[in-house]
Amino acid sequence: MRLRAGLLRQVPRVTVLLLTLPVLAGLAGTLIPAANPAALRALANWPGLEGAVRLSLVSGIASTLLALMLSLGLVAALLEHRSFGRVQALLSPLLSVPHAAAALGLAFLIAPSGWIARMLSPWATGWTTPPDLLILNDPMGLALIVGLTAKEMPFLLLMILAALPQVDANRRLTLAASLGYGRIAGFGLTVLPALYPLIRLPIYAVLAYAMTSVEMAMILGPSLPPGLSVQITQWMTDPSLAHRGTAAAAALLQLVLVIATLALWHGAERLIRRALRRQAARGRRAVPLDLLRRPLITLSVVLAAALFAGLAGLSLWSVAGLWPFPDLLPDWTLTTWTRVAPDLLTTTGTTLTLALLSTGAALGLVLSSLEAEHRYRLSPGAGAMALLYLPLIMPQVAFLPGLQIAALRLGAMEGVLAVASAHLIFVLPYVYLSLAAPYRAFDPRIALQATALGAGPARIFWTLRLPMLLSAVLTAAAVGVAVSVGQYLPSLLIGGGRVETLTTEAIALSSGGNRRIVGAYALLQMLLPALGFALAIGLPRLVFRHRRGMLPA
């Protein structure tokens, strides 16, 4: 018993150690080539630098802000409402859509030759060929912002839903309403202050992701110049191998940008908190604010519907033969599916194995770390947090070569285990940040009661804490599975191309931008994580079918 307790105490340290080597190796892989005057000069001389930096900042901040406002607005407007359960059920497939597929779907929807234009042509528009309109890849990055917002909103919503049970939102809202506050004002003044700290880490992850994402920016974003992340990828994959230094310097710049933006965001949080407090002291009921409910809901629904319609369009492409403009529907054929079918079973199996291995390991490490943290009153240092976050905010294409060289030096096996370990580096932070806040918000009085009744810490963990946090744990696991399924470069580079997953196949095939193939794979890629999320939402309902109070609102 003593031995086991000693082990548990060490878990946070072991977790940090496990991450240290790969993260440092990846960091070294980025920083060493960047610390080269020629590379820095090449970056500074790139004429697109200013535009690329502006684009990364604007699209990252705007989309995160929009996604946050919409998801908070939706929760504020719909909490306690009957349709709330349905919103949740709709979310899961959206969440698991790969970014590239979501972007391609959206692109097909809104392009001048896209579905909306086809619906209206030629009878309403008179177009027999698509008009020459700059809708996608617009220099302002508006299409990109819409895409990122639509894709990140479901993730934030899910994070909010996982945290809500910890803040007793319904009773706070009832109290505010009984004092005559409007719904949105009541939410902002009573629920948000308790809720926000629980979702802060996921928001930071979304912000970092939006600033560094490559696939969405490549499909929807401008290219003259492209965002910094896209340009880094282009330099890194330049066939002459001559621009890897420039790529590394740009990756360093991106790292600095992300950190600065996170700091800025943190500063803004303080300002808003102060403003909210002043507002609360003033006691204004702000009922007219509730007029915003309808536009907020409408906008969220439109975005979600666009994502769904885009994905429906992509799915149609997977069974499409010729599909010329302005036909609304294609000629049908199963060619695409018969093409992808033969390898499907094995690649799906490999993908699932990797996801379960990495997510299982991450859950084990995170849960034991959090439990150790709680029992021994440890708190994670700033260094450990930075280590955890680095893999999320570093551009993978610059981060991975260092990791790969380290793996080869260690004589690391290729194969499934090595790739699963690489996935763990990216899965662990997401699992941690989905789980940490709900875990820490667990009402200590429950554990106190149990202790008073004679239960030991282990029993409290297994019979109280874990079951009561089931929803949050499963959500974290589903996020972990989705992250693992989505990994392309780690699977390819660490696996040496010998570990085939749905995503390595899909990305290689979609490098051709082939909508038919992308449509087929996107459906499959959605299926696995969607299963995970469906379990995350459905399982607690099954387990707690006789204890409705245990379910999230």
Partner 1 sequence: MNRRDFGWLAIAALTIAGTAQAQTPGQTPGQTQAQTPAPTPTQTWAEVESAAKGQTVYFHAWGGDPKINDFIAWVGEQAQSRYGVSIEHVKLAATSDAVARVVAEQAAGQSEGGAVDLIWINGENFAAMKAEGLLHGPFATNLPNWPLVDVAGKPAVTTDFTLPTEGYESPWAMAQLVFEYDSVRVPAPPVSLTLLQDWIVAHPGRFTYPQPPDYLGTTFLKQVLYGVIADPAVLQTAVDEASYEATVAPLWTFLDTIHPALWRAARAFPANEPAMGQLLADAEIDIAFALNPGRASAEITAGTLADTTRTFVLDGGTIGNASFVAIPFNASHKEGALVVANLLLDPAVQARAQDPAVLGFQTVLNPAALSPEATAAFAALQLGVATLSPADLGPTLLEPHASWMTRISTDWITRYGVVQ
Residues at the site binding partner 1, with contacts judged by CB under 8 A: 46-48, 51, 111-113, 129-130, 132, 134, 136-139, 218, 222-225, 234, 236-242, 321-325, 331, 333, 335-336, 339, 401, 404-405, 408-409, 414, 488, 492-493, 496-498, 504-505, 507-517
> Looking at beta carbons only, is 224 or 281 nearer to partner 1?
224
Q: Could you tell me the two tokens for 420? A: 């699963």
**CA 364, 361, 396, 343 torsion: positive or negative?**
negative
Can you list the alpha helix ranges (DSSP code H) found in 164-191? 169-178, 183-186
Stated as kind and residue range, the H or E segment containing 509 is: helix 502-510
Query: Nearest distance from residue 521's CB to partner 1, in Å?
Result: 11
Q: What angle do CA 451, 455, 457 make, to 5 degrees?
A: 85
Query: Nearest distance from residue 53's CB to partner 1, in Å?
Result: 12
Query: Nearest distance from residue 44's CB to partner 1, in Å?
Result: 14
**Closest-CA residue to 405 (of 315, 334, 479, 496):** 496
How far is the C-alpha of 278 from the C-alpha of 288, rounded, in Å? Answer: 19
What single-letter DSSP state applies at residue 289? Answer: G
Q: Could you tell me the two tokens for 497? A: 């191309």
Query: Nearest distance from residue 513's CB to partner 1, in Å?
Result: 5
Query: Nearest distance from residue 504's CB to partner 1, in Å?
Result: 7
Helix (H, G, I), strand (E, B) or coil at 320: strand
> Looking at beta carbons only, is 325 or 442 nearer to partner 1?
325
> Looking at beta carbons only, is 331 or 443 nearer to partner 1?
331
How far is the C-alpha of 132 from the C-alpha of 163, rounded, in Å? Answer: 46
> Looking at beta carbons only, is 81 or 498 nearer to partner 1?
498
Query: Nearest distance from residue 34's CB to partner 1, in Å?
Result: 16
> Looking at beta carbons only, is 15 or 246 nearer to partner 1?
246
State the distance between the two ends of the chain, measured CA to CA, in whole angstroms: 38
Query: Nearest distance from residue 49's CB to partner 1, in Å?
Result: 9
Q: Could you tell me the two tokens for 209? A: 């992701």
> Looking at beta carbons only, is 283 or 321 nearer to partner 1?
321
How far is the C-alpha of 56 from the C-alpha of 312, rounded, in Å? Answer: 29
The answer to whether 536 and 481 have CB atoms below 8 angstroms apart is no
Query: Nearest distance from residue 502's CB to partner 1, in Å?
Result: 12
Query: Nearest distance from residue 323's CB to partner 1, in Å?
Result: 8
Query: Nearest distance from residue 130's CB to partner 1, in Å?
Result: 5
Q: Could you tell me the two tokens for 2? A: 């003593």
Angle separating helix axes 84-95 and 293-317, nearest 10 degrees: 40
State how far Cα 460 lies from the chain centre. Answer: 32
**CA 66, 71, 72, 74 torsion: positive or negative?**
positive
> Looking at beta carbons only, is 218 or 289 nearer to partner 1?
218
How far is the C-alpha of 327 from the C-alpha of 543, rounded, in Å? Answer: 48
> Looking at beta carbons only, is 79 or 143 nearer to partner 1?
143
> Looking at beta carbons only, is 247 or 526 nearer to partner 1?
247
> Looking at beta carbons only, is 143 or 189 nearer to partner 1?
143
DSSP 342-379: HHHHHHHHHHHHHHHHHHHHHHHHHHHHHHHHHHTT--
